[in-house]
Chain A
Amino acid sequence: MAAGLRRYLLIVVPYAWLLVFFLAPFFIVLKISLSDLAVAMPPYTPTFDPSAGWEGFKAFISQLDFESYIFLATDSLYVNAFFSSLQIAVLSTFLALLVAFPMAYGMARAPDWLRPLLVMGVILPFWTSFLIRVYAWVGILRSEGLLNQFLIWTGIISEPLQIMNTPVAVYIGIVYSYLPFMVLPIYATLEKMDESLLEAAIDLGCSRVKAFWLVTLPLAMPGIIAGCFLVFIPAMGEFVIPELLGGSRTLMMGKTLWNEFFSNRDWPVASAVAIVLLLTLVVPIVIFQRQAERQQEAGR
């Protein structure tokens, strides 16, 4: 067997799998987003009939329109869902960074024997079910939940706080669930950092705080950027967290898509929501991919 053929097969099998099951579906989503809702199965029109030939294809194309997108842009519900997703994703990415940076910094400075254990400690929750971890917060944040019980017991508040079913609960849920994604890339850059650079900065008259801003932070930047993308992108399309913790008044794109599809059975609108979400995320995803590839190259 020729080496060329073997190499060809090696490339073709995973490539074909991803083309069929990852890339091709997007074109179907795009096509359905341009179709109209119909009372039929599948619930949209037109459906493409290959037996009709070229004329049939032209008729099919002429029936496609942007109705679903116009609907999305004019109905305030969807516009609000878009901006609220954007706001929630940006703010929770920032909050995750605030929590993750001191943590990664502490991990990078921990004694050698402790570091692998700390890394393990960050990775372990990532392996445990996402759904269960979000569910764990329901029992804590409810008005008769443990957080309120604790705060009333300590006398800080006298009336239970309404956290559950508000955006605050969604922020907590996202920061909690995606924290490992933020911590690990930052830790990786801080751990590799050459401490003598800091020493040099201090010798040259920098204060500790200034040295941190001028040396540590710029060197940690690649990790910070990678972490921010890893949190922002999935947060933007999050479904489980807003549905479980955010209540009915917290709108997000992922939730809207789910409801359009499963509750309203409006496949064209659900597909249009998916396309809008995808277009919003294309730029961050491409930047993330470039970054990941560059890191792989650097490891070589």
Chain B
Amino acid sequence: MTRKFTWFNATSLTFAFAFLYLPILILIVYSFNESKLVTVWAGFSTKWYGELLHNQAMLDAAWVTFRVAFTTATLATILGTMAAYVLVRSGRFYGRTLFSGMIYAPLVMPDVIIGLSLLLLFIAMNIDRGMMTVIIAHTTFAMCYVAVVVSSRLISFDRSLEEAALDLGCSPMEAFFYVTLPIIAPSVVAGWLLAFTLSLDDLVIASFTTGPGATTLPIKIWSAVRLGVSPEINALSTILISIVTVGVIAASTIDRRRAARAGERG
């Protein structure tokens, strides 16, 4: 029996996707609004994008955010891949339950708790707050997402390939870099991208752990948004949404092509 796709299914999908996408579409449309009043349409204009380009504080924040996200993603990918290896491969060891608890808990832990606790740690350790503390904070929760993404790939990984490489004289390091890494690469890339966007998005944890000279874009957006809706923020949001959309679609296309090629070979 083939699954029946009923009118009820089609309707619920249409409504649910409309609910998911309409607010974003409206936001994008109004970023091209001539009027300063966001809810009154006064004709097409790209002037808010122009204004954004001349807002030095915004550009500085964007640059800080990019550097934080890039470093976070890289660190989190290294630590997260290691953690995934430990979760999947290391079997039982002393403190394993605690370890997996520390991997899964940050995925659902409220931001305010992570932010507050890390800030109090930095103060207790007398570390000056700035870009570095934000990077440490972001790496801590982003590595857990990377670990989950990579470990789901590692579980389905055929270990005999790695054993063959070892039998043929590879050192364990060589076996990892020549055999394992290329195979799990799509999930590692996905993990990196996920960590990058998580860092790019985060407001709460960055607000707690930031210091002078390390104002990130979400903090900047937050202070603007609290004063109300502004077309400039809509324009900025549109740019960010476009970057993420292009990135996610590119990543998934690469992944699907790889999977398709692997399928042909197999």
Where the two chains meet, the residues of A that have a C-beta atom closer than 8 Å to any C-beta of B are 3, 6-7, 10-11, 13-15, 17-19, 21-26, 28-29, 32, 42, 99-100, 102-103, 105-111, 116, 118, 120-125, 127-133, 135-140, 142, 144-146, 149, 176, 179, 183, 195-196, 199, 229-230, 233-234, 236-240, 244, 254, 257-258, 261, 267, 270-271, 274, 277-278, 281, 284-286, 288-289, 292-293, 296, 299-300
B241: Cβ under 8 A from any A Cβ = yes
Known contacts A25-B121, A129-B201, A289-B105; A179/B112 CB under 8 A: no
B106: Cβ under 8 A from any A Cβ = yes
B99-141 at interface with A (beta carbon < 8 Å) = 99-106, 108-114, 116-118, 120-121, 123-124, 136-137, 139-140
Task: Report how far A107 CA is from B17 CA in the complex, Å.
Answer: 11
Known contacts A125-B21, A288-B108; A240/B16 CB under 8 A: no
CB distance from A220 to the nearest CB of B (A): 14
B23: Cβ under 8 A from any A Cβ = yes
Query: 8 A-B residue contacts at CB 8 Å?
Result: A18-B102, A21-B137, A29-B116, A107-B13, A109-B4, A120-B249, A125-B20, A195-B1
CB distance from A134 to the nearest CB of B (A): 9
Known contacts A21-B136, A145-B39; A105/B9 CB under 8 A: yes
A109 and B156 contact, CB distance less than 8 A = no
Q: Pick from A124, A129, A140 the residue with the most CB of B within 10 Å.
A: A129
Q: Pick from B85, B111, B155 the residue with the most CB of A within 10 Å.
A: B111
Interface size class of B (residues with CB under 8 A): 35 or more
Among candidates A7, A22, A32, residue contacting B140 with C-beta atoms closer than 8 Å: A22
A274 and B39 contact, CB distance less than 8 A = no
Residues of A within 8 A of B90 (CB): 7, 10-11
B151 and A296 contact, CB distance less than 8 A = yes
Residues of A within 8 A of B16 (CB): 99-100, 102-103, 106, 179, 183
Residues of A within 8 A of B85 (CB): 10
Closest to A42 in B: B123
Where the two chains meet, the residues of B that have a C-beta atom closer than 8 Å to any C-beta of A are 1, 3-6, 8-10, 12-13, 16-17, 19-21, 23-24, 26-27, 30, 38-39, 79-80, 82-83, 85-87, 90, 93, 95, 98-106, 108-114, 116-118, 120-121, 123-124, 136-137, 139-140, 143, 147-148, 151-152, 155-156, 172, 194, 197, 200-201, 203-204, 208, 218, 221-222, 225-226, 228-229, 233, 237, 240-241, 244-245, 247-249, 252, 256
Among candidates B103, B110, B249, residue contacting A254 with C-beta atoms closer than 8 Å: B110
Residues of A within 8 A of B226 (CB): 244
Residues of B within 8 A of A267 (CB): 120
B200 and A129 contact, CB distance less than 8 A = yes
Among candidates A14, A24, A176, residue contacting B143 with C-beta atoms closer than 8 Å: A14
Extra contacts, 17 of them, besides A109-B4, A130-B201, A288-B108 (Cβ < 8 A), are A14-B147, A18-B103, A28-B117, A106-B8, A106-B9, A106-B12, A110-B5, A116-B256, A118-B13, A127-B194, A129-B200, A136-B23, A237-B111, A284-B108, A286-B101, A292-B104, A296-B87
A278 and B113 contact, CB distance less than 8 A = yes
